[in-house]
Structure 1
Amino acid sequence: MTRGNPSSPSAAKPGPFRSLGGWLERPDDIQPCLCGDDSADVIVVGAGFAGLCTALELTALGAKVIVLEQEFAGFGASGRNAGYLGGGQGLEYELFLKRVGHEQARSIIRFYDEGVGYVERKLGELGIDCDYNPSGIIRAGVHPSQEKRLRESMELGVSLGSPATFLDHAQMRARGIPPAFLFGCHIPGGGTLNPGKYVLGLRRAAIRAGVRLYENTPLLGYSEGPVIECKTPQGSARAPHLVFATNAYTPQLGLLRDKVMPIKVSAIETRPLSPAQLASLGWPNREGIMTSHLTMESHRLTAHNTLVLTTKRISYVYGSKTPNEPDHVAYQQLAIALHQRFPTLRGLDIQHCWSGYISLAFDALPVVGETGKQQNIHYTAGCSGHGVATQSFIGHLLAERIGGIEHPLLAALRHKTPSLLPEPLQWCAMTLALGAAHQLDSFTNRRVHKAG
């Protein structure tokens, strides 16, 4: 990477694109595809956090479970995200608080916070080593203009039951947080982990528990009824219950097209930092840091001493498509952010870049429920960038629901999700909204650069 002005595109040269994401490789023990016919009590489509946790919880209740996965477990968003295990602080409260009211909002926030504890318990119960660092998370500002919004959001989250503490400039420096981050709120629960190791640990646990995982097995279609039949390229599966745990890919399967949309997010990972480079940062507790931009940046150190930066620029693809393609503009902007936030690391190479899709509803809340004449087709989507905790915990709630128990937190998630627009209005609206957010964030970053 060349040296130069950190705000200049010529100052950053992102590394090669990884189509699998940056956290995992294709498993050596890929499970056979479904050939012929099979049956179970429940069929789960999608082998990410939600699908695997649902399968594990159902198996623990005595159910026979089939999981259909188009690629391999973790290939989608679960293996591509930033690896933040976070709760209810930092949600877009203004998008849903008036719609659902304070009482239901408090229960929704509790769902997010309890998801953190659920994952922590599962790591111990299943013996999953995924480099978990329970340091909490910091939402930070990089310019004084961000402080008011950050404080107000934190205080609203606290009033809804999610703890956090505001850190002023002196307190940030006392914690050793890199100086580009001026102030922030520390969220005590959760931390960072390696999402690839986590999802592959769930995969191993599911196989060990007797879940019939069929990889390289896309769902071609399904028929409704008391017993649902799922068609795949070389076979079929039948069960009284079907669970869609496909998140951003759900609209392409003909479900939730009017409720959730896939949003493309991106990441870069640097080469390992030298001891001198690590020392130049400080950052002793290695808290994951998310900025309070409209389209946030996230910054974290990994267990192997690399830096991972994510998002910065997000986009919507016409027709809710999810092409596994690079986003070179996003990588370039993330590389510039690397130079701006960590000037002592000028010249540090980026080893690779990747992109993936989160699932977003207009109110940024989870979308869960049932459909079909028999109400035996279950779905979960709308992680909105908070998928590690929420999409893991939802597996527990869905398993109970299929077993006949409606958990109060699942009931709290049931609400009227705003409807999306038809194309091309949806693409126009998202392009304008995201473009405006990017422009405002760029203005903030230019002010930071001038001040520096």
Structure 2
Amino acid sequence: MHDRIARSFWIDRAPKRAPRPSLHGNQHTDLLIIGGGYTGLWSALLAAEREPGRRITLLEGGTIGHAASGRNGGFVEPSISHGIGNALERWPEQASEIARLSDENFEGMRADVARHGIACDWTEAGNLTFARTQWQADALEDFAPEATAHGEPTTFIGPDRIGEFTKSPAYVAATHTSAGATVDPYKLALGLLDAVLAAGVEVYEHSIVRRLDHASELRAHTERGSIRAKQVVLATNAYPPLLRRLAGVTVPVYDYALMTEPLSDEQFERIGWTGQEGLSDAGNQFHYYRKTDDGRILWGGYDAVYYFGSRRSESLTQRAETFATLERNFFATYPQLEGVRFTHQWGGMIDTSTQFCVTSDVVSRGRIAYAVGFTGLGVAATRFGAQVMLDQLTGEQTDRLALDLVRKHPLRFPPEPARALGVNLSRWSMAREDETGRRNLWLRTMDAVGLGFDS
């Protein structure tokens, strides 16, 4: 493990770029966007396209895309609701509309990537979800026709055909969907930055907003300056909220990943993975994995770690125990690859909400909008969240704003120590469900009250 690079593979291999300046002095703008990940970048780009000539300023506390946007697995899942299953459970009457708007957002994102020439290795090859147990297989078989009926075409692959899709001894069944894409997530972030700059947006890095005044005028304060704005978009996601009302709406959860050395075509044939599909497990503690353009395997997930008090620290992005678990599970899934070396290990924060997907609102007399809680499926959904915030700031009544996932707000996480107790009991209970196939009393109670925990 000691020769691994403790940094996101995507960021590590990217060419060095000149940093953007930091904010100095007192300035003003029409629209201020706080946060330079996907949510903020999409907000800036779409706002500039909606109203050309408007003065738009984006402030990023570190560097563009350095956090979740440059560390994720690069899965562009179309769903804005963390999967059609979550929509069917929480908003069954709107599930088909959610699926329609998910497809519309995904198609819009694909078009934007092409139109702005964003070279992010966009690949559409479908997704496979594998079952490791019979109860997971039964659940996938039941789910496939329901998902298909609500706009997410899904095919069940039973034990008689699973060998056509994988040679892993760990899997007994699967589902396949043609929807979705994979990308290099950091290239996507930097491509969005280029598009934002070309649209005339002012972008500042290393400009942490310490305070946001909104009693009368809107003014954001950094260490070296301040900026007055007519409207504000909050795109800080898992980072500490600048509005007191956002406390408890999300909690930061740490997710981890490994990257292998490049594999040969023969090695991929040995495990039965000859396509470019994105892969994942069906369990609560699931792995997600995909190929890179140079033939590596990104292998992540399984552990979703919450630290007491909603701790946030770069030091928490390295966790030897989780990396050892990921490595062990990798070789248990693909023993044919024994001896393959991992070159990179890293982690990052996910902004988890109790409804597992984005929640958004406009506050301060319609002047501040926020969108948070993407819960690990934000590569495409952040574009939807950006559209929702811009709709809210203009007051325009759109199909997006009619969704209950936007109009109704999720239950908050309780304060400590109940927060840590609840999260960790949920993690333990979900691990038990993976082993037994049964949801215990705690999980059934959480289902009944609409609380959840996921990554």
- CA-based RMSD of the aligned residues comes to 2.4
Local SS of the residue matching 1:114? helix
Partner of 1:434: 427
Q: Deviations over 1:388-441 (max 9, x none)?
A: 110123223333433342321233122131121111100111011112323444
Matches within 5 A, 1:157-306: 157-175=147-165, 178=168, 180-225=170-215, 227-251=217-241, 254-306=244-296
Q: Deviations over 1:328-386 (max 9, x none)?
A: 221111101210121221000110111111111112131111122x1211001111111
Partner of 1:360: 352
Matches within 5 A, 1:41-440: 41-60=30-49, 61-62=51-52, 63-88=54-79, 91=82, 97=88, 99-100=90-91, 102-175=92-165, 178=168, 180-225=170-215, 227-251=217-241, 254-324=244-314, 325=316, 326-372=318-364, 374-412=365-403, 413-440=406-433
Task: Tell me which amino acid in the other structure corresponds to 1:224.
Answer: H
- How far is 1:153 from its partner? 3.4
Identity of paired residues, percent?
26
Local SS of the residue matching 2:248? coil
Partner of 2:450: none
CA contact (8 A) 2:219 2:226 kept: yes
CA contact (8 A) 1:90 1:154 kept: no
TM-score (norm. length: structure 2): 0.88
Aligned pairs, how many?
A: 429
Cα distance, 1:253–1:265 mapped onto 2, change above 3 Å? farther
Partner of 1:18: 6
CA contact (8 A) 2:38 2:379 kept: yes
- How far is 1:181 from its partner? 3.4
More relative contact order, 1 or 2 (CA 8 Å, 6+ apart):
1
- How far is 1:106 from its partner? 3.1
Q: Deviations over 1:8-57 (max 9, x none)?
A: xxxxx5863534x2211485211000011221111111111111011001
Cα distance, 1:371–1:402 mapped onto 2, change above 3 Å? closer
Local SS of the residue matching 1:248? coil
Q: Deviations over 1:294-319 (max 9, x none)?
A: 12111211111111011111111222
CA contact (8 A) 2:85 2:147 kept: no
Q: Hey, what's the Cα distance between the residues in 1 that align with 2:85 and 2:185?
A: 29
Q: Hey, what's the Cα distance between the residues in 1 that align with 2:82 and 2:264?
A: 35
Local SS of the residue matching 1:40? strand
CA contact (8 A) 1:178 1:283 kept: no
Task: Tell me which amino acid in the other structure corresponds to 1:423.
Answer: E
Local SS of the residue matching 1:43? strand
Task: Tell me which amino acid in the other structure corresponds to 1:58.
Answer: A
Q: Hey, what's the Cα distance between the residues in 2 that align with 1:198 and 1:169?
A: 37
Unaligned runs of 5+ in 2: 438-455
Local SS of the residue matching 1:169? coil
Q: Deviations over 1:84-114 (max 9, x none)?
A: 11123994767665654x2233333333333
TM-score (norm. length: structure 1): 0.88
Task: Tell me which amino acid in the other structure corresponds to 2:193.
Answer: R
